[in-house]
Structure 1
Amino acid sequence: MAEPRRRVFVVGVGMTKFEKPGRRKDFDYPQMAYEASTKALDDAGLKYGHIEQACCGYVYGDTCCGQRALYQLGFTGIPIYNVNNACSTGATALYMAKNLIASGIADCVMALGFEKMERGSLSNKFKDRTDPMDKHKATSTTLRNSEDAPYAAQLFGNAARDHMDKYGTRPEHFAKIALKNHRHSVNNPYSQFQDEYTLEQIQNSQMIYYPLTKLQCCPTSDGSACAILASEEFVRKNKLEAQAVEILAMEMGTDGPSVFSGENCMNVVGYEMTKNVANQAFTKAGMSPDNVQVVELHDCFSANELITYEALGLCPEGGAAEFIERGDNTYGGKYVVNPSGGLMSKGHPLGATGLAQCCELTWQLRGQAQKRQVPGVKACLQHNLGVGGAVVVGLYRLGFPQAKRVNEVDAHSKL
């Protein structure tokens, strides 16, 4: 029988503003990682010497970037793990850090994510070896003919076409998701874009791959985010109860055989994977989607946000269009999905995205989200996806809701 797992808490978070690649001078990964990690340490009221291990996530970089990023904080000799798991890299680093504490290996662990990206669509860097996405691409193009468009847009655009054919979803439903996320980003000073658009502007922007227009696709970004996790013993010893956010459950999974069965394009981009892992997380936490008020999910394209509503159980299968029409994905509805603006507006530095989601949900639960604050938040849901494939789903709540916050720090005061 497995040993009981210890409770795990987020005690400090910090992130940089996400930027258009190359826009900010002197913003290489050591600088961005330093900014995010020191903000998280300050938020927790801790020093780097408290950190026993660190998990560092990035996709585009040479080996041991994690060490280079953290050595500027000190040479403490701690284990540093370098994590690469596609677009779910940030949450994978978080998941590893959480498990180090839950298993009793450590009491205080840093999860750090960063990315320095190139402009334009993602592309393979190694042309002399097997493409890890070759089977996903082949399955998608077998079901839907390949076109002249970025491969990621084709994968998710094909999922959108499947949903439209099966359930009657219309292009405007995907555009309305972008409308919402761009509107939410106006209130997020960390967001790469803070522009609000009309539905017509979104629909009439450049067509990337039907039904996805440019304003329904996330940008490449530079940026970093960080979370410091701790055990209950550490929290109590250091009197961090008032700011501690508990990770009630966090599960991770990969593709199943249905991805390559030729059944549909939605599974190619993680629909079934997300559904299975979400069910595991809700079961472990003893919760259901009805217990959640705020959701940060992986909206790399509006198509993925739409199918993920159903995969997470926020609405029934085939019910996403009605869910959107009711406004159940924004303020005043059943859930507020991506109050940060999501990847679509906030940006998507691959290694940092999952940790930026953790930052947003921590601020929401603490009541520190300023103009984005959702009233009455009790529980939050996180979803970070990487095609190829990996998905992380987490559930959060205040660890000690009766503890009073003292000298509450403005979450954006050092931006």
Structure 2
Amino acid sequence: MEQDVRVVGVGRSAYHRSTAGWYPVSALGEAIGCAMADASLEPMQVEQVYLCASGGARLPWQESLLRALGHVPPIVSVDASVAGASRALYLARRDIEEGRAHCVLVAGIDHGPADAPSEQSMALWTAAAREYTRRHQCRQETFAMIAVKAHQHAFHNPDADYGQPLGLDDVLAGQGGFAPLPRLQFAAPAYAASALLVCSTEFARRLALSRPVRILAQVCSDELRGPAVAPDTPLQSVGYERDMAVSWEVYERAGIGPADLQLCELHDRATVTELLLYEALGFCREGSAERFIEDGDNTYGGNIVVNPSGGLLGMGFGASTSGLAQCAELVMHLRDRAGSRQVPHASIALQQDAGEAGSIVTLYRRD
């Protein structure tokens, strides 16, 4: 019999744009310790660890686990290159659903060297922005407004290292970009550590764990993959149709729709990826993202608060941690513990994470 899965503890370090003062082993241990304290669990109750670590396994991660848990459970390493952090959560959730474990720690660490967006990726995203602009007469300022919103949100997030407020002119004047996307419309790399504790509903109830958050549904694009077809447009190349298929599958499994959501954390490595996801995730109709942005429906007071953390644009990007940091942010809001950036009446939230070859969409609900 499949088990429902709950997130019962979260821990997230501050994001750092350089390695100055950054000690990855200590940061990972602290993130795990915070997640354990948040869940009020005993260390020996952790049966399995999924670890996503960029830069290889050359640092003594066992030391972090030993420091935080007092023992080193079995560790499964997850490749950081393809939405690695979210894939680690996906695998842990599946283990619990299928009865192979009752309590799993999922951890991620980005320790370098951090990868800035490649020229090829930036050119591809810019081509997608140009194609969308041609199709729907979208203004350059619309893309820039997403970056402004991201930094406004990040300003209220103490973990964000790119949270300085920006004006529209600042973003449009960013140096060295590809019109219509200057460099301030691409997420910069960062170093961080994150950890989550997930468990079965039976485990959470038996231990009377406080305020768990239920994973309503989760879909990885691997599950939907059909015959390989080479993309023939920039929009297809950045995964627009893939993301649409994954999101509607997760809505169907959960029995809800985008109108039921109050907040979302999504993969905004560029402003154009966020704009396209508004439509792919069903937040607005195809071709209407510009009106959605200009009406403020992507922020506080609008239809849905997108990336209240500041997202990758405001926090920085790390392949091994971003998916876990997204989940931690949503869990804080669903528990009414997000401080000054709390989304009012948050009860259902969506997470979308993506990598080079796929995407993962997860729905959460407060208990």
Place the TM-score, normalised by the shorter chain, in its bin. Answer: over 0.9
Deviation at residue 36 of structure 1 after TM alignment: 0.8
Unaligned runs of 5+ in 1: 124-149, 400-415
Q: Does 1:16 align with 2:13?
A: yes
Deviation at residue 70 of structure 1 after TM alignment: 2.5
Asked if 1 retains the 8 angstrom alpha-carbon contact of 2:195 and 2:324, the reply is yes
Deviates more, 1:54-63 or 1:186-195: 54-63
Asked if 1 retains the 8 angstrom alpha-carbon contact of 2:66 and 2:72, the reply is no
Residues 400-411 of structure 1 aligned to structure 2 (within 5 Å): none
- Residues 198, 77 of structure 1: CA spacing in aligned structure 2 closer, same or farther, 3 A cutoff? closer
CA distance in 1, matches of 2:267, 2:20: 24
Q: Does 1:381 align with 2:350?
A: yes
Residues 298-377 of structure 1 aligned to structure 2 (within 5 Å): 298-377=267-346
Q: Does 1:170 align with 2:167?
A: no
Q: Deviations over 1:217-276 (max 9, x none)?
A: 111111011110011111111111x32000001111149579853431122122122111
Asked if 1 retains the 8 angstrom alpha-carbon contact of 2:114 and 2:191, the reply is no
> RMSD value over aligned CA atoms?
1.9
CA distance in 1, matches of 2:72, 2:318: 28
Aligned to 2:208: 239
Residues 3-402 of structure 1 aligned to structure 2 (within 5 Å): 4-25=1-22, 27-28=23-24, 30-62=25-57, 67=62, 69-74=64-69, 76=71, 78-86=73-81, 88-118=83-113, 121-122=116-117, 150-240=119-209, 242-254=210-222, 260-387=229-356, 389-399=357-367
Corresponding letter in the other structure for 2:158 = P
Deviation at residue 117 of structure 1 after TM alignment: 2.3
| Count of aligned pairs between the two proteins | 366
> What is the SS of the residue equivalent to 2:364?
strand
Deviation at residue 87 of structure 1 after TM alignment: 5.1
Corresponding letter in the other structure for 1:221 = A
Q: Deviations over 1:380-399 (max 9, x none)?
A: 00000102x12110001112
Q: Deviations over 1:341-363 (max 9, x none)?
A: 00001111210000000000000
- Residues 324, 393 of structure 1: CA spacing in aligned structure 2 closer, same or farther, 3 A cutoff? same
CA distance in 1, matches of 2:225, 2:129: 20
- Residues 72, 286 of structure 1: CA spacing in aligned structure 2 closer, same or farther, 3 A cutoff? same
CA distance in 1, matches of 2:228, 2:342: 37
> What is the SS of the residue equivalent to 1:358?
helix
Unaligned runs of 5+ in 2: none
Identity of matched residues, %: 34
